[in-house]
Structure 1
Amino acid sequence: MARLNRWLTSMLLSVPLFLRSTMMPVYDDAPLALDGTCLPVLIFSHGLVGSMNTHSAILGELASHGVFCVALEHRDRSGALSLVRNGEAESLSTAPTEMSSVYYKSISLRIRPGVLEERDKQLQIRIFELMALYRALELLNEGETLKNLASSTAGNLSMPKGSLNLQPGSIIWGGHSFGGTTIIQLLKSVYYEGQCDLKQDSADISLLLQQPPPSLVAQITPLSPVALLDPWFMPLKSSSTKGLLCKPLPCHYATIGPHLESPSTAIVMSMEFAYHWPECHSHMPAIISPDPSSVRVQTQEEYETEFKKFTSPRDFMNKSKKARAATASQQQRDVTKDLLEKDGGEHQVSPIASYVLHDTTHVTHSDFGLLFQWVTWWVTGQKNPELAVQNTARCILAAAGLPLTEIDSDEARAQLERLS
């Protein structure tokens, strides 16, 4: 702090005080309100520099609708810091060590020698952790009492037997950014395990460090609800996992007939800033396509050439919005016409729904956009992150086929209509 200006030092030191004064209308460690019905379950994977706490707004909103949310904290060194707890009271004066803490490892966000291999290693750890978490949920649902290692939270973890809905295809799988990548690779790795050989050549590797248990294999079905929030495409391009990249998400194998009343079970929620970013916009079709191998993805050289035409990311986004708005209505008419001709006049529901939240940026999915709204607005132009959180939660509930509460705001209703 010694080399910083006095006003900047004061501003940085005031951040913890600001966060301490932030209040949320919740009860601390409140018991589950069980009414005899099984609770729907959502498993969530965070992105880079994230933790189990960085998406509390969205998960809290879902929990208020009765969803049992489990936020995993990955120890693949993609998070800012993860504490390894042993159940004993931690002293504030005790310095963290390599045995008690897992620190962030800086890896380039661009494709350079060795980068994709490092991301593959992280994905292996992340998928292993998700598999272990699923087993822990099974034990909890069987009535087992699990020891709570967090000294700040009293008591062990237990609940009545059968409180969670762990029926095949019932778990909601969600992730943000690198967490979205993790969910994609988990679903594909487990779903296609034993069905086909995912290794296209001798250099291909498996992201599964161990065989998935039969219960997890049965859990992941074409009808499993999936919520991908700004999924990060770059790690999917690894030459060691080409077999996974060429395979579609399991939802494309769902049997969908005409006039289906239920919504799509898989959703992709894109923040507007990310959606209009040239690289992200080019890669999204490969994530949601029923035939990813047929999608031509923009090369790094093409992306850099296109981006050089604009003065800044915001300049690109603003001009991209205008250009797409001018052609969106005609494109929609053409798509609708093609669908009607293909289905003989009957529109068939897609297994994946894609949404773009207006006036939002990549961090809107996390708590940062809510806690530091003026900073995010000044840098990215983000507006009304509370509304974005509410509508993201509503779209996830719809994908899972869960009941929605009434909208009590004209503004929320208007934005939700724009999403539909």
Structure 2
Amino acid sequence: MAQLSDDCFAFGGPMMSVDEAIGIIAARVAAVREVETVALEAADGRILARDVSAPLPLPPFTNSAVDGYAVRSRDLPTGAEAAFPVTGRIQAGTSAAEAIQPGHAMRIFTGAPMPEGADTVFMQEDVRLDEAGRVVLPAGLKRGANVRPAGEDIAIGITALKAGQRLRPQDVALLAAFGLTEIDVTRRIRVAVFSTGNELVSPGDRRKPAQLFDSNRLMLMAMLDRLGCAVSDLGILRDDRAALAQGLRQVAGSHDLLLTTGGVSTGEEDHVKNAVESAGSLVLWRMAIKPGRPVAMGIIAGTPLIGLPGNPVASFVTFVHVVRPTVLALAGASQQKLIPMSVRAAFSYRKKIGRREYVRATLRRAADGALEAMKFPREGAGLLSSLVDTDGLVELGEGITNVEPGQTVGFLAYANLGSG
């Protein structure tokens, strides 16, 4: 379990940028050290614990890239087509019984190893057979055509995958091509999630007229699950300073991260702030981001705590820019910069300079084929429908003050935000 100092998240400035926040997290959060071995079929989404060097070349032997006829390059026709006797047939998974003879061709299929002496393959679509059963090969083919040399993809011994990578299906395929059946990964980050407030009840419980069903907690748990975390649901903690402080101390020792939504601000009814300060230390970050507001960063018994805003859209956006990099840092993963896709704005918008803003938008295909982003028609960080009925977020940087229709903007799809 990584242990952090109480002043780990201290920040002296009045307002920090999103990039500053991510930089502080990446530099000051200590990665967990525990490693576990998992079967390859369970490796997707896990963080690679050690570099993987290629134990064999890929492909492991020189083979044909097509169905056709293998020949020696010194026999290639130059001025006109030529007929070659066909001796032998090599299917994928078998090897030629003998070397190719000068002036001869061998029938070969995709993936089959090249016979000794042959280094070029004619595609079967480019040749014909004459009455004597010889294959007629056209002139002009270059030496080495349609052949995949051993190690063409990956040479033996090179670093194929680096520690800190979040494994994807294609990475799993590469490990399987090496013949591996298991891999060392960082153990899952253990995150305890809870909501706060007497105004909340869990879905399925009886709701009083002045209460709301808790939606943020379930959203955050789903996003953590997509990041590969082991999530503990602590439910809703009521507004009692002493009970909150005691509960936080109890779970801190068995988790790598504590995550709360709502109740951590400067209001007189935001009791979690006082409870966290009683159990550990707390810093309220003022981030130059919209939607969003101060995010609580703290340490309880060496375990980091993050308090997100209570409004669902603000909670979603700050999760992406605070919780996601924290989880990656704890797992020892490389920070994966979110790269917006360029699209065309189909809306007008005004914003303050010096603040990064995220506009909820839907994509559509314009008449000229270009992708356009349409802004959700209503504002408000409490509108869950604005997340449900849109495709992602238009990112407007700190230096932008206005957007006009036709302007190129950056778009972050939800599919890339929730999964890391």
The TM-score range, normalised by the shorter chain, is under 0.3
What TM-score do you get using the length of structure 1 for normalisation?
0.25
Which is greater in Rg?
Answer: 2
Which structure shows the higher strand fraction?
Answer: 2
